[in-house]
Amino acid sequence: MNQQQEISVKIPNQILIYFLLSMIKPSNFIPESDKNPGLEANNNIHAQRVLVDKKHLQRNYDARIKYLIFFGLIFFLFIHSFWKYGILNQAIGFILPSASAQVPFVESEGGFIPEWSRLKFSDMVIREDGKITYRVNGRTETRAWKSGQSIAEFLKLGDFEDTELNLETLNLGKISRAQNLRLNNLRLSDFQLMNWQTVPSLSRAVPGLANKSVKDVKPLDDFLKRQGIFASNRRIGDLAQIPTLQRARLGQGINLKNYKITDIPGLERARFDGFGNWQESFIDGVPGLTDLTWDNFPGLLNVDLSFVGKVDLVLRDIEANRIRSISGSYQQGFNVPCLQDNCAHAEMAGIGRTTGVQWISGKVQKVRGGFGILKALNGGKEPTGRNPFGSAFKQVIWEIDESTGSMQTAMFFRICKTIPFIGRTCSPYFIGPVPFIEYREKDPIIFGKPSTLPD
């Protein structure tokens, strides 16, 4: 019984061996030497030739592996040298196809410029919560904002004083014409700064008001009667020297909702900077200003194109110690190096030494900012960046996506005050981010002034 089992096992094993040999040499299922012993010598010669051929092929294979390792090492050293000295970045930048920025921005001869006719305060939505408390002019103030809120709700006219927006030169007439507003449908309460105006401040701010009779200006006639002054037939200008009227605020004496803006003749022609404490009005406290497109601010239209370039490569967190910087702040200059492990940035290309300079991301590097008393806010720091469109806001690289070769920039704003007998003071640009222009590699970009380059 055991012998039969052994024979039955051997037979399948022989079949398996012959089958495997047939996979190598299909024409010989059974060795020819078993059929014809005279062929055994020829088979031996053939086997020796096969062995020689195998050795020859093995030597060729080993040689190819050595050459592959050698040339791979040379290629690695070549790429490493290019990367180290920045040559690879420039080469790839010229090879990659051109891309374009998103609307509402237009391409000028020097770079992308916001399409001011489609930009307005109401569209500028902040993406992070914030709150700051400070003491100025003898009182404590607080500014707070929530993500998703328009900057018009928490930024004031004074925050943009002496900037390219020139908000102080506007008046309600200009805004109403641009917005097709009917002033006779608006109440005095819609114009926030009317709350703290006095008779003297109004007589100075509104053209021709000082020469009008009190009886011709119903809001002031009612206000004066509330103050115990019955002077309907007198000139408004003659009352400006009455001591009790120097501090009596209009909003505390009458309900401004009961009067139209047109009830004060000439109010629509008064420049904002003519009113008392005009800087304290929020942007949305001026009828129509929130939706006034920025092409109505002529100072923004004169963009300096003397210092421009192209976005070459965008690089993220692994970049460290970048010293050829063209970003910074008004206070620290715009060539502040990034001496830290994380220096995400955009490498630029341009004329001469502009090629290879780095605009560091403001999300990873902070620099000194602000001036005067308010420079202490936010620890005296602001995101690194540039001001190519003036001092109204700062442009900051915020998000970088290497996979798409793109970067999202953001606007950052500041708080400004005017202190009597001292002058103007501003915080660092730390209120943001508000989404701005998106760039892709090879897009033109405006750097603005100053045009200083790092060594």
Give the count of domains, the chain. Answer: 3
Q: Check if the beta carbon of residue 143 is closer than 8 Å to that of residue 136.
A: no
260 and 303 assigned to the same domain: no
Give the per-residue pLDDT at 98. Answer: 39
Arithmetic mean of pLDDT, 194-217:
96
| Chain mean position to CA 38 | 89
Residues 163 and 210 in one domain: no
How is residue 369 written in tokens? 């900012």
Which of the listed residues 249, 270, 291 is the one where a domain comes to its end? 270
Q: 183 and 162 in one domain? A: no
State the pTM of this model: 0.77
Mean of pLDDT over the chain: 84
* 411 in any annotated domain: yes
- Burial class of residue 360 (count of CB atoms within 10 Å of its CB; 0-12, 13-18, 19+): buried
Residues 443, 352, single domain; the answer is yes
Q: Examine the pLDDT at 16 and tell me if it is beyond 60.
A: no
Which segment of 89-98, 219-228, 365-374, 394-403 scores lowest on mean pLDDT?
89-98
Q: Say if residue 334 is in the same domain as residue 410.
A: yes
Q: Do residues 388 and 400 both lie within one domain?
A: yes
301 in the same domain as 434: yes
Long-range Cβ pairs for the range 372-376 (8 Å, 24+): 372/419, 372/422, 372/423, 372/424, 372/425, 372/426, 373/136, 373/417, 373/419, 373/425, 374/134, 374/136, 374/415, 374/416, 374/417, 374/425, 374/426, 374/427, 375/331, 375/425, 375/426, 375/427, 375/428
Over 50: is that where the pLDDT of 196 sits?
yes
For the segment 337-368, what is each residue's pLDDT rounded down to a tens digit?
Answer: 999 999 999 999 998 899 999 999 999 999 99
Q: Which tens digits make up the pLDDT trace of 141-167?
A: 999 999 999 999 999 999 999 999 999
Mean pLDDT value of segment 89-112: 51
Residue 218 structural domain = 172-270
pLDDT band, residue 437 (cuts 50/70/90):
very high
Question: Both 76 and 11 in a single domain?
Answer: yes
Single out the residue in 208, 240, 270 at which a domain terminates.
Answer: 270
- pLDDT-wise least confident of 43-47, 127-131, 312-316, 396-400: 43-47
CA distances from 63 to 47, 55, 69, 95 (A): 24, 12, 10, 35
Final residue of a structural domain among 240, 270, 300 = 270
- Same-domain check for residues 327 and 422: yes
The average pLDDT across 316-341 equals: 93
Which of the four pLDDT bands, split at 50, 70 and 90, describes residue 4? Answer: very low
Asked if residue 165 and residue 310 are part of one domain, the reply reads: yes
Are 259 and 366 in a shared domain?
Answer: no
In a domain, 265, yes or no: yes
pLDDT at 86: 39
User: 92 lies in a domain?
Assistant: no
Residue 97: is its pLDDT beyond 80?
Answer: no
pLDDT at 88 over 80: no
> Is pLDDT of 45 > 60?
no
Residue 444: its pLDDT value, please? 93
pLDDT at res. 39: 45
With respect to residue 88, please indicate whether it lies within any of the assigned structural domains: no
Confidence of residue 301 (pLDDT cuts 50, 70, 90): confident
Q: Answer whether residue 209 shows pLDDT above 70.
A: yes
Q: What pLDDT, on a 0 to 100 scale, did the predictor assign at position 172?
A: 98
pLDDT band at residue 70 using 50, 70 and 90 as cut-offs? low
**Pair 183, 177: CB distance under 8 Å:** no
Residues 335 and 416 in one domain: yes
**Residue 399's pLDDT band (boundaries 50, 70, 90)?**
very high
Interval 369-385: pLDDT, tens: 999 999 999 999 999 99
Nearest to 399 by CA among 366, 438, 425, 373: 438
Q: Are 277 and 82 in contact (CB under 8 A)?
A: no
Residue 436, in any domain of the structure: yes
**Least confidently predicted of 55-59, 212-216, 273-277, 419-423:** 55-59
Q: What is the pLDDT of residue 104?
A: 64
Would you say residue 87 lies in a domain?
no
